[in-house]
Amino acid sequence: MMRYKILITALLLIAFTGCEKDFDKINRNPNAATEAATSALLTQAIRDFAFADFDVWYAGRQSSLASQHFAQRNYTSEDRYAFRTGVTDGFFRNNFIYMNNLQTIIRLNTDPETKDSYASLYGDNNMQIAIAEIVKAWVFQLLTDYFGDIPYSQALDIETYPQPVYDTQKAVYDGLIAKLNEAQTKLENSTTDGFATGDVFFGGDLSKWIKLANSLRLRLALRASNADPTYLTEAQDAIADGVMESNDDNAMFRFSASGTPNEAPWYNGFYVNGRNDFSFTAGFMELIKGNNNQAFVNPFLGLRDPRYPIFTSFTTDKLGVPYGMTEVLTQKWWSTNSANRVSLYHRNPLILQANFPTTFLDYPTVCFMISEVEGWDATWFEEGINASLEHWAILANAGDLDEGGAYVTEVMNRFNAATDEQKKEMVITQKYIHLLMQPHEAWAEYRRTGYPKSLVKPGDVTAIIDGAEVVFTPSTGAESGADVVARFKYPTSEFTLNKANVEAAAARMGEDSHKQRVWWDGGGLQ
């Protein structure tokens, strides 16, 4: 596998020489970057997550497949649950490594020997700590949603805890909610403005960081409510405390249109490293074209999604790749449908452009969450669709995607006549469409709700080739339940470096397999 390259300026390279070593450990000495600028540490941490967690390896060969926005043209054994252990290991390990920059910010602002100088240089100590904790909360949620129980309370402190215990998923969620509440209070009481430089999300605007903290609380609480409905109170509190209010509040890392070394991860994968491996799935393409197929009934049947030309760069109907076929059948399908299929590489759509931003959390997602918390509220559902159309239009530098409002009007007519379960399907399906290129969240939403119905499960007919049904069958030897992948397995390196604790975590959850559900997904086996 082509290794992920950390690309930084010479100045940052000097500052972070001690921060990017020891890739076999998930914790390292927190005293290794004592003279680093905390503004630069923040920039580097966010940039690392924005690139690595959303590239064609850590996202492309994991959650982008599990969410079935994408299928592969080659190596389709991964689509069929035979995942590469090296990719999973790197994803787990490197996220902890990158968090050390955030932990260094916290340490430098709490250590009596350094805190005063860092407050003088970069702003209120508690402000810096709060921002680092907010970004850490995003990463820890990502990790626990991927793997289940993870190191949390003893993580990022190798001197004290060289082999950290694994906390339960509930404990991690509770800890993150508490940290985000604390962060909100710290920011509201900050004696200075935010970072003058280095804040690549919000340019030092603390009000937007507060909204991000509360929006993350909302996401955590809503997801946890799937296991325990009492978390809905926390979700309501987060909304009341102030969440994102427009697309101006979106937390995004913006890459450069000039290309290397600051290009977007999928541009890097496709056009720098030549990984022309992915295309949209048939399920996703039929969903946004407004069609049914053999696998599902489309709640938006007959409605061409206004985002279709933005996503695909086509205005005419094209075909997506049937998900879960063997390499032989996929290549046969690809050749047979050469005139009608989507070839992303040759079209260079918005999502493959060098300056396409990575989105960590955004206003349309918040709207859909509020609609759910408020009992599938129509006003917030409509606002979510409109905000999504606006968001994608802004990214594409396009005009009104639904001029005249015909699409949204018809969606809302159907919504207002629907049952509660149908409303749930419509809200989550619209959220899933919006979450293209946020695959971790799209996959989590499917696991939490079972929507959209366009995803193909083992045993489903995924295509008809030469008049014969092709059934989605997992790769030989791959672990498979009755549904999509429920989680990713723990890294093999953990069974060497932290054997007792990772084995205890696996036993506590049930087993270390792709079919073991995470806590908020029911906790049992598929």
The pLDDT of residue 419 is above 80 = yes
Residue 26 has pLDDT above 70, yes or no: no
What 3-state class would DSSP assign to 425?
A: helix
Among the listed residues 405, 452, 511, the one whose alpha carbon sits nearest the alpha carbon of residue 286: 452
Residue 526's pLDDT is what? 79
The mean per-residue pLDDT over the stretch 204-225 comes to 99
Residue 32 pLDDT greater than 90, yes or no:
no
pLDDT given at position 403: 85
The arithmetic mean of pLDDT across residues 390-394, rounded, is: 98
pTM: 0.93
Please state, for a pLDDT cut of 70, what percent of the chain lies above it. Answer: 93
Measured distance CA(232)–CA(265) in Å, rounded: 35
* C-alpha closest to that of 59 among 221, 239, 269, 255: 269
Q: Which residue has the higher pLDDT, 379 or 36?
A: 379
Q: DSSP states of 351-409 as a string?
A: GGSTTPPEEEE-HHHHHHHHHHHTTS-HHHHHHHHHHHHHHHHHHHT---TTTTSHHHH
Q: What is the pLDDT of residue 218?
A: 99
Dist. CA 430–CA 432, nearest whole Å: 5
Q: What's the Rg (C-alpha) of the chain?
A: 22
**Pairing state between β 461-465 and 468-471:** antiparallel
Quick: pLDDT tens for 125-151. Answer: 999 999 999 999 999 999 999 999 999
- Residue 261's pLDDT is 75
Share of the chain above pLDDT 90, in %: 85
What is the rounded distance in angstroms from the CA atom of residue 63 to the CA atom of residue 53? 10
Pairing state between β 278-280 and 468-471 = unpaired
pLDDT band for position 29 (cuts 50, 70, 90): very low
Question: Is the pLDDT assigned to residue 15 strictly greater than 60?
Answer: no
**Looking at per-residue confidence, does 349 or 4 come out higher?**
349
User: Reduced to 3 states, what is the DSSP secondary structure of residue 441?
Assistant: helix
pLDDT in tens, 421-475: 999 999 999 999 999 999 999 999 999 999 999 999 999 999 999 999 999 999 9
Q: How confident is the model at residue 342 (pLDDT cuts 50, 70, 90)?
A: confident
* One-letter-per-residue 3-state SS of 56-124: CCCHHHHHHHHCCCEEECCCCCCCCCCCCHHHHHHHHHHHHHHHHHHHHHHHHCCCCCCHHHHHHHHCC
Q: 471-507: per-residue pLDDT in tens?
A: 999 998 888 888 999 999 999 999 999 999 999 999 9
Is a pLDDT exceeding 70 seen at residue 25? no
Residue 48 has pLDDT above 90, yes or no: yes
pLDDT at residue number 343: 85
Residue-wise pLDDT for 57-86, tens only, equals 999 999 999 999 999 998 999 999 999 999
pLDDT value of position 11:
30
Task: Kindly tell me the sign of the dihedral angle through the C-alpha atoms of 257, 52, 130, 41.
Answer: negative
**Interval 279-329: pLDDT, tens:** 999 999 999 999 998 778 999 999 999 999 999 999 999 999 999 999 999
* Range name among 80-84, 171-175, 220-224, 342-346 with the lowest pLDDT average: 342-346
Structure token digits, residue 352? 């493959």
Tell me the domains of the chain and their CATH numbers: 10-241 (1.25.40.390), 265-449 (no CATH), 471-521 (no CATH)
Q: Per-residue confidence at 246, pLDDT binned at 50, 70, 90?
A: very high
Q: If pLDDT is split at 50, 70 and 90, which confidence band does 35 have?
A: low
- pLDDT score of 262: 86
